[in-house]
Amino acid sequence: MPSDAHQLMPDGSVKDVSLGDLAVEDKVLIKPGEKIPTDGVIVEGESSVNEAMLTGESTPVTKKTGGKVIGGAINGEGSLTIEIKSTGKNSFLAQVIDLVKQAQESKSKTQNLADTAALWLTLIALGSGALTLVTWLVFMNHEFAFAIERAVTVMVITCPHALGLAVPLVVAVSTALAAKNGLLIRSRIAFEGARKLQAIIFDKTGTLTEGRFGVSDTLVLSQDIDEETLRKYAASVEASSEHPIAKAVTAALEKKLPVENFKSIPGKGAEGRVEGKEVKVVSPGYLREQNIDFTDTRVEPLQAQGKTVVFVLVDGKLKGAIALADIVRPEANQAIDARKALNIRCLMLTGDNQATAKWVSDQVGLDEYFAEVLPQDKAAKVKEVQSRGVLVAMIGDGVNDAPALAQADVGIAIGAGSDVAVETADVILVRSNPLDVVAVVQLSRATYRKMVQNLFWATGYNVVAIPLAAGALYAWGVLLSPALGAVLMSACTVIVAINARMLRLNK
């Protein structure tokens, strides 16, 4: 974080102040190449912002007026004026640090097992030391100095130092590794349970899809026009409209043509003159009103999939149709395939109708879906899947997903979603990429393997070391001194530490 910021004063002047002096709704100037001092919203300017430190994405993100910026990110080539929305402990970066701390401090089931084992090993060390002393004194008739040396060696070599560190070291490394890869762990127990997941339920809107309309199909219904011209006409007319469908049609094409005499047709569409032609982009209802026949074998299947279809008229004649749907995330198919490779069933919950749910399900290759599910019923659906005897994860981003996230064995929130969903979840995906759920499962499995390996080293070492320290091989001239016992004990601890540091996330 920068040490100070350029605050814009009411009289228009700029004053350098420390971050602690900034308050919500203050305005701050960020010059090219500077770090953004705190979270806020851009009120003036345009630039590219490097958020790699926060999200892991190396490509700078274009930011315009109204866009949100995060403290700690690096401004690019333009100057920005932002209005501060959060400072100090309420900032995004501070919350990330808090989540990482909570995850590192939270105890896991494996840690509890290691603590119990360490307690027993302490008792075994003391008991073995006492038994060794008595054995050499009473039964082997050796002098006290020799017997006490054997007892001390046993207690030194049996010190549960490595066992006590076996799990915490892996926890610390895995939490840091997760954060670097855009995975914030809020519950260690739930995260460790992710290795045994058998089913993952996705919320549709905002998770598998982007939550916004996009052009999915373009149909040319007349031979005297091509698809590119049809889309160009439609995008040019819709560019002047604020309707969500109009924005989706416009966004599908970068280059637009000049439009004259633009008019909105309330509830039906829009019209305008493009290249001397009267172009209308209208709903099926408008065609029915004007008695224009639009029966085409290609249109009905699109409507049956739950897509919104608009029609393009040129000089009063029907020339084509454009179908729009909630855009499926590009990485969704890859995410589903990766989960199936891990033998995890993939399901979807949505409030949309059956046709839309089936279309999305077919697009990404889901095993099962639940359509027309009301927000208050989502948790019940999760419970229904759990009743099949499987361990379930729920992935969502909205306020209405929070109860389902809480009900699931592992709740995973899309980082760009609502605060309520994020607060309820066990794991947060900072990059809002459903593919990162695979990383959660893989890291959970890798972390568990490392814990088991470390526990094996820490306990297995003692099985060999205790008899050796007690003098089991004395008859063959093998005898360990307390100093050598300390070296072996330390060596075991070093091995455990190195093994923990070798934890990797293979994507």
Question: Which residue from 205, 279, 287, 217 is spatially nearest to 248, judged by alpha carbons?
Answer: 217
Q: Is 12 left (phi over 0), alpha (psi -120 to 50) or beta?
A: left
Neighbouring CB atoms inside 10 A of 330's CB total: 10
Q: How far apart are CA 53 and CA 50, in angstroms?
A: 8
Q: SS in 3 state form for 228-279?
A: HHHHHHHHHHHCCCCCHHHHHHHHCCCCCCCCEEEEEECCCEEEEEECCEEE
Catalytic residue flag (residue 419): no
Residue by residue, DSSP assigns 342-355 as TT-EEEEE-SS-HH
Taking the CA atoms of residue 179, residue 184, residue 186 and residue 190 in that order, the dihedral angle to the nearest 10 degrees is -100
Torsion sign, CA atoms 293, 298, 301, 302: negative
Active-site hit among 203, 352, 401, 436: 203
Cβ-Cβ contacts under 8 Å for 476 (sequence gap 6 or more): none
The helix-helix angle for 332-341 and 354-364 (nearest 10°) equals 70
Cα angle 438-439-441, degrees, rounded to a multiple of 5? 65
**By three-state DSSP, how is residue 330 classified?**
coil
Cβ atoms 249, 324 nearer than 8 A: yes
Question: Which two tokens mark 164?
Answer: 């006590």
- Residue 349's identity, in one-letter code, is L
What length does the chain have?
507
- Tell me whether strands 80-86 and 209-220 are parallel, antiparallel or unpaired: unpaired
In 3-state terms, what secondary structure has residue 370? strand
Among candidates 188, 178, 174, 185, which has minimal Cα distance to 109? Answer: 188
DSSP string, 83-132: EEEE-GGGSHHHHHHHHHHHHHHS--HHHHHHHHHHHHHHHHHHHHHHHH
Active-site positions? 203
